[in-house]
Amino acid sequence: DIQMTQSPSSVSASVGDRVTITCRASEAINNWVAWYQQKPGKAPTLLIFGATSLQDGVPSRFRGSGSGTDFTLTINSLQPEDLATYFCQEAKSFPLTFGGGTKVEIK
């Protein structure tokens, strides 16, 4: 199974700050990575697919980068509504696996 190691597990930042979340895959996975946002008590929503492509309707302050084994989700100019947990997911092989999650809190 491919392991997705996500860091940090939590981050606290102020409105307007830039937040960076990373995921490292245990083997090369090309660009087959997605990022999801999950608000408390809700289902996840897709933010980024193919490592860098923004899903329709997602604000442009969300940006994905990386390829191979190292991937990054950047939230530029953090907004109050970005309070959530963020997960990466690899889509190279079964079983599909997710990172452990990063909880983003607003200072």
Partner 1 sequence: QVSLVQSGGRVVQPGTSLRLSCVVSGFSLSNTAVHWVRQAPGRGLEWVALLSSVGNNHYRDSVQGRFTVSRDLSRNTVSLQMNDLRHEDTGVYFCTRRRPVSGVDYFDSWGQGSLVTVSS
Applying CB under 8 A, the span of 19-27, 59-67, 70-78, 93-101 interacting with partner 1 comes to 93-101
| Residue 32 binds to partner 1 (criterion: CB under 8 A) | yes
Task: Rule CB under 8 A: choose which of 5, 45, 77, 79 binds partner 1.
Answer: 45
Count of residues that interact with partner 1, criterion CB under 8 A: 22
With tokens 């199974």, the residue in question is 1
| Residue 89 binds to partner 1 (criterion: CB under 8 A) | yes
How far are the Cα atoms of 19, 35, 36 from residue 44, in angstroms, in the given order? 19, 10, 6
User: Measured between alpha carbons, how far is 17 from 21 in angstroms, rounded to an integer?
Assistant: 13
Please, what is the minimum distance in Å from the beta carbon of residue 87 to partner 1? 6
| Residue 97 binds to partner 1 (criterion: CB under 8 A) | yes
| Residue 2 binds to partner 1 (criterion: CB under 8 A) | no
DSSP character string of 59-85: -TTEEEEEETTEEEEEESS--GGG-EE
